[in-house]
Chains A and B, each alone.
Chain A
Amino acid sequence: MAGRRPGRNSVAIALAVALLVVAPPLLPSYWVGLLTQMVILAILAMSLDILLGYTGLPSLGHAAFFGVAAYAVAVLSVRYGANFWVCVLGGILIGTLLSAVLGLIVSHVRDVYFLMITLAIGMVLWGLGHRWIPVTGGDNGISGIPPLEVHAGLPFQGPLALHYATLVVFLICAGLMRLVVRSPFGLTLRGIRENEGRMKSLGFNTWLHCYLSFVVAGAFASVSGVMWAYYNGFVSPTYLDLTASSELFLMVTLGGPSTLVGPMIGAGAIVLLKNVMSAYTARWLLILGIVYIVAILAAPQGLWNLRKRPSA
């Protein structure tokens, strides 16, 4: 922890600024769209990292909150014609509320049990999205969500405006999450990850900390879901399914858990890979499967942690 290399961090920041801030006006809109995707999914991946990396709770159902928030935006804007702020706050609120309810069920469970239970919960929500047709539109999903910049009444329109708006949201979220993980609360989470028994005997309410971590992660996932609904203009049950949750899981583990930078890199890498590969081949799943296996074999600690000495 103490031996951070400041050099590496500043190089990474410079690269990120160049790519996300300077480059977009020079790029074709397809690539701007990809960058926007990366930024939105980076928020999501970081939110999972609070759970997975910092608290040590491996959630395989985290895409559920992202998906539910996206659905909330879709239902509110398309079915009820709600205005921008109702949609945004409604999406975040519903996603967060869901995590607050589900958190009650899962917060006393640990390790592999946590993994299985979140997986089952995620699948149940996917089933609901799939079958509860009057509300979710079933397999067809819901389309026709107005673009963010139109719905919000921004003076600028088009992919560039959306990209910079997303970037602002991303910076706010990343800043908040950085505050969370560096706060005494975040340190306690890490303590629970390393040795829950010891934290308990020191007098910490570990259940409450795990619960709050789950809710905080759910809240940021909801923000990401709201942005995604506006970016994509369309929601479908595939946002909720196991493939989505595990892709998310891969972003975090590939990038490097318990660093906030790692999941950003992971999100970028997966989005890039997915779009570039699916342009060339229909065998995208096959390749993704191989990426999983190779990533675990070659960099079990994640890319961002590769140059650090493995900690015991």
Chain B
Amino acid sequence: MLVYLITQTLNGLFSAALLFLIASGLTLAFGVMKIVNIAHGSFYMLGVYVAYTVIQRTQSLLLGSLVAIAVVAAVGFVMQRVFLRRFAADPLAQMMMTMGFALLFRDAALMIWGGDPFTLQYPAVLRGSMEAGDVVFPWYRLFVIIVAALVGVALWTINERTLIGARLRATVDDPEMASATGINVAQLSGLVFAAGAGLAAFGGVMGGPILGGYTGVDFDLLPLAFVVVIIGGMGSLKGALVGSIVVGMIDNFGKALVPELSYFTLFAPMILVLALKPTGLYGRA
């Protein structure tokens, strides 16, 4: 029983790690630009597909990650600067636009890579499982948990300890005041959007060996990421972290215990949080 509990908790942490990589970009884009980015799952998907192409040629997960992050961040940057920026004051128009991009990316991916599902290869070092007593847990999943934790620490450091982070926090708090004090909000927005896209792509590469790439992966993960952001509070990194862990755990235990209702089990905490605190755990109105 205890072994089962520990294994499931570790699995939950693995889901949480992936969710955190996806949701942190989503929540920051929302905080700075009020963008409800329907295409955020597509960034994850594009990350898997780009990495797939690179890894097939080079057998390197590291190289795959780097190229995927760079390509998808560039896509995100162009999307924000050329299209979304025109509708900075209109969240609905921005949302519709990202919806358009989500459909476009999905079909483009289908056109370029075909519809066959695949999983990414990963280094032999990470194959096999860790064994501690009766608990058996794959090394790769542990690796992802650690990497996500490192990314979390890095994001936290940037957010709390650097000038860019200070500007970012100021903009999340009050974009107009921030821009009045000389912060280049437009530039920052592009940067945040690109970084969020890159992070989601990285999430895709990290999840690729387990979840793989297939048509529809974009919209499979999107609602989970949204639930994370809603629970944690929009615009809050800490919220994304806590939300990821909550959703990762619930999703995992829900799938293990009541598989038919697995999606439904996510619903309860969301309603609870919304009823008690409509802005989410760490969000501000």
Among listed A36-44, A117-125, A176-184, A220-228, interface-contacting one: A117-125
Q: Are A291 and B100 within 8 A (Cβ)?
A: yes
- Chain A residues with CB under 8 Å of B111's CB are 283, 286
- Chain B residues with CB under 8 Å of A111's CB are 91
Known: A285-B104, A289-B104, A292-B99. 6 other contacts (CB 8 A): A105-B275, A113-B230, A124-B223, A130-B263, A288-B103, A297-B83
Instruction: Give the distance in Å from the alpha carbon of A120 to the alpha carbon of B278 in the complex.
Output: 14
B149-181: CB near A (< 8 Å → 1, else 0) gives 000000000000000000000000000000000
Instruction: Give the distance in Å from the alpha carbon of A245 to the alpha carbon of B262 in the complex.
Output: 22
A34 interface residue per 8 A CB criterion: no
* With contact pairs A117-B274, A292-B103 given, residues A132 and B222 touching in the complex (Cβ less than 8 Å): no
Q: Are A109 and B271 within 8 A (Cβ)?
A: no
Instruction: Give the distance in Å from the alpha carbon of A116 to the alpha carbon of B231 in the complex.
Output: 11
Instruction: Give the distance in Å from the alpha carbon of A131 to the alpha carbon of B86 in the complex.
Output: 40
Contact with A290, one of B34, B100, B227 (Cβ below 8 angstroms):
B100
A296 interface residue per 8 A CB criterion: yes
- Chain A residues with CB under 8 Å of B262's CB are 127, 131
Interface residues on B, range: 35 or more
Q: Are B96 and A250 within 8 A (Cβ)?
A: yes
By beta carbon, the residue of chain B nearest A292 is B100
Which B residues have a C-beta under 8 Å from some C-beta of A?
A: 30, 34, 36, 38, 83, 86-87, 90-93, 95-97, 99-108, 110-111, 219, 222-223, 226-227, 229-230, 234, 259-264, 266-267, 270-271, 274-275, 278-279
* With contact pairs A111-B91, A116-B234 given, residues A286 and B108 touching in the complex (Cβ less than 8 Å): yes
- Chain A residues with CB under 8 Å of B34's CB are 112
By beta carbon, the residue of chain B nearest A250 is B96
Which A residues have a C-beta under 8 Å from some C-beta of B?
A: 58, 60, 105, 108-109, 111-113, 115-117, 119-121, 123-124, 126-128, 130-134, 241-243, 246, 249-250, 253, 283-286, 288-293, 295-297, 300
- Chain A residues with CB under 8 Å of B83's CB are 293, 297
- Chain B residues with CB under 8 Å of A246's CB are 38, 96, 99
- Chain B residues with CB under 8 Å of A117's CB are 230, 270, 274
* With contact pairs A105-B274, A120-B270 given, residues A293 and B264 touching in the complex (Cβ less than 8 Å): no
Of all A-B residue pairs in the complex, the 8 with the closest CB atoms, nearest first, are A127-B263, A292-B100, A289-B104, A123-B223, A289-B103, A285-B107, A286-B107, A293-B100
By beta carbon, the residue of chain A nearest B223 is A123
Instruction: Give the distance in Å from the alpha carbon of A243 to the alpha carbon of B42 in the complex.
Output: 13
- Chain A residues with CB under 8 Å of B105's CB are 289
Instruction: Give the distance in Å from the alpha carbon of A127 to the alpha carbon of B262 in the complex.
Output: 8
- Chain A residues with CB under 8 Å of B110's CB are 285
- Chain A residues with CB under 8 Å of B230's CB are 113, 116-117, 120
- Chain B residues with CB under 8 Å of A300's CB are 87, 90, 93
- Chain B residues with CB under 8 Å of A108's CB are 278
By beta carbon, the residue of chain B nearest A257 is B92
Contact with A289, one of B102, B222, B226, B270 (Cβ below 8 angstroms):
B102
- Chain B residues with CB under 8 Å of A297's CB are 83, 86
22 examples of A-B residue contacts, CB within 8 angstroms: A112-B91, A113-B230, A113-B278, A116-B234, A120-B223, A120-B230, A120-B270, A124-B266, A131-B260, A132-B261, A242-B219, A242-B222, A243-B103, A243-B219, A246-B96, A250-B99, A253-B96, A290-B100, A295-B96, A296-B87, A296-B100, A300-B87
Instruction: Give the distance in Å from the alpha carbon of A160 to the alpha carbon of B92 in the complex.
Output: 38
Q: Are A131 and B259 within 8 A (Cβ)?
A: yes
CB distance from B246 to the nearest CB of A (A): 14
CB distance from B64 to the nearest CB of A (A): 26
* With contact pairs A127-B264, A292-B99 given, residues A116 and B91 touching in the complex (Cβ less than 8 Å): no
- Chain A residues with CB under 8 Å of B107's CB are 283-286, 289
Q: Are B261 and A131 within 8 A (Cβ)?
A: yes
- Chain A residues with CB under 8 Å of B229's CB are 116
Instruction: Give the distance in Å from the alpha carbon of A288 to the alpha carbon of B86 in the complex.
Output: 21
